[in-house]
Amino acid sequence: MSAADLAEAARRPFTGRRVRFGDLLLQLVAGAAALATTVLVGLIVWKVIDGAHLSISKFGLGFVTRIAWNPVPGHELYGAASFLFGTAVTSFSALLLATPLAIGIALFLTELAPRSLQAPVTALVETLAAIPSVVVGLWGILVLGPTLRDHVEPALHGALGFIPLFGPKGAGASVFTAIVVLTIMILPIVASISRELFLSVPRELKEGALALGTTRWEMVRGVMFPYARGGIAAALILGFGRAIGEAIAVTQVIGGGVWIHWNLFDTGDTLGAKIAASYQGASTNLQASSLIYLGLILLAFSLVVNLAAQWVVRRAARKQGATRGGRG
């Protein structure tokens, strides 16, 4: 083979006439795997729509705005509004609580922690991510719930009871417990992504700010946050996506209520938790289909969130590429 042929072969998979059977086979098999993966995702979407079809044809889009879950035969009526509300409230609240904590942890790990603490604390935070949701839920029902009910909720109600959010204490299984559980679960994701983002901030920028006489906090606020802004947004969106998809731990601690009200200490329900609680026992086809309809809404929700995160990451990467200019 001449040098030119070699260059050709290195660039393209197949050169001219000599197509090796092995090459073809490997490309075919590997390509089939990639195709199968794509088909799988399409199949998932199709199957969920198919399963929800009975409920969609009966209730249409009104399902999304109706507050009802009445499985009484003859008067069956279902609606997703209370579960959408529950999903939104629990996930947003968990994000609200987790974000400052996660960013604080990331800053601690990148700026403040002594060298000896960095590795162990990082490992511990990532271990938190590995705890299965059923174990968090077990701890939630048997330990966290009663503790919150007996100590934290009365205190909050006493101090802030004029806000309808903090009504009279509940039974342990409540929206509040679910929020705390979700916060614990999304904390590690947001923290580890933020940590990697902060690690990637160029030293020159940080040192430049410090050399100008800023305090460390001012440097963080003025240099690191703006630099990592896109990535942190993506981290938050990913954390949010994790929260809305969480079904098991939430269903264990949330108490299953079909209503919309403001007292955090009362029971509630989310899309995933309702499916997990009721699917096995759905006694009519319409009820089963309505539960799958809930799953469809959840799937749509998480797809949008996922794609949003991707878009934010891509935009941030493009911007950083532009500012870096000709480097690299």
Cα–Cα distances in angstroms (integers) from residue 89 to residues 56, 83, 117, in the given order: 25, 10, 35
Helix (H/G/I), strand (E/B), else coil: 240: helix
Binding segment (CB under 8 A) for other proteins, from list 3-11, 157-165, 202-210, 223-231:
3-11
Alpha-carbon distance of 307 to 60, in angstroms, equals: 25
Binding segment (CB under 8 A) for other proteins, from list 34-42, 152-160, 228-236, 317-325:
34-42
Is residue 168 close enough to count as binding other proteins by CB under 8 A? Answer: yes
Please name which of 64, 86, 66 lies closest in space to residue 77, comparing C-alpha atoms: 66
CB of 73 to other proteins, least distance (A): 5
Q: Which is nearer to other proteins, 200 or 284 (CB)?
A: 284
Which residues ranging from 75 to 94 are in contact with other proteins (CB under 8 A)?
75
Please state the three-class secondary structure of 190-222 as a single string: HHHHHHHHHHCCCHHHHHHHHHCCCCHHHHHHH
Which residues ranging from 182 to 201 are in contact with other proteins (CB under 8 A)?
184, 187-188, 191
Cα–Cα distances in angstroms (integers) from residue 71 to residues 58, 92, 178, 281, in the given order: 14, 29, 25, 11
Is residue 121 close enough to count as binding other proteins by CB under 8 A? Answer: yes
Is residue 317 close enough to count as binding other proteins by CB under 8 A? Answer: no
Alpha helices (runs of H) in the chain, residue ranges in sequence order? 3-11, 21-59, 62-65, 81-107, 115-130, 133-139, 145-147, 153-160, 175-199, 203-211, 216-219, 225-245, 248-254, 271-278, 285-324
Is residue 312 close enough to count as binding other proteins by CB under 8 A? Answer: no
Is residue 44 close enough to count as binding other proteins by CB under 8 A? Answer: yes
Binding segment (CB under 8 A) for other proteins, from list 20-28, 203-211, 223-231, 317-325:
20-28
Is residue 230 close enough to count as binding other proteins by CB under 8 A? Answer: no
Alpha-carbon distance of 143 to 179, in angstroms, equals: 15
Please name which of 120, 191, 178 lies closest in space to residue 145, comparing C-alpha atoms: 178
CB of 47 to other proteins, least distance (A): 5
Residue 117: Cβ within 10 Å count: 12
Which residues ranging from 236 to 255 are in contact with other proteins (CB under 8 A)?
241, 244-248, 252, 255
Which residues ranging from 131 to 160 are in contact with other proteins (CB under 8 A)?
131-139, 141-143, 146, 149
User: Of these, 89, 264, 299, 312, which contacts other proteins (CB under 8 A)?
Assistant: 299
Is residue 218 close enough to count as binding other proteins by CB under 8 A? Answer: yes
Is residue 281 close enough to count as binding other proteins by CB under 8 A? Answer: yes
User: Which residues have C-beta within 8 Å of that of residue 164, sequence separation ≥ 6?
Assistant: 262, 263
Binding segment (CB under 8 A) for other proteins, from list 21-29, 156-164, 224-232, 320-328:
21-29
CB of 276 to other proteins, least distance (A): 6
Is residue 126 close enough to count as binding other proteins by CB under 8 A? Answer: yes
Is residue 33 close enough to count as binding other proteins by CB under 8 A? Answer: yes
User: Of these, 4, 34, 61, 322, which contacts other proteins (CB under 8 A)?
Assistant: 34
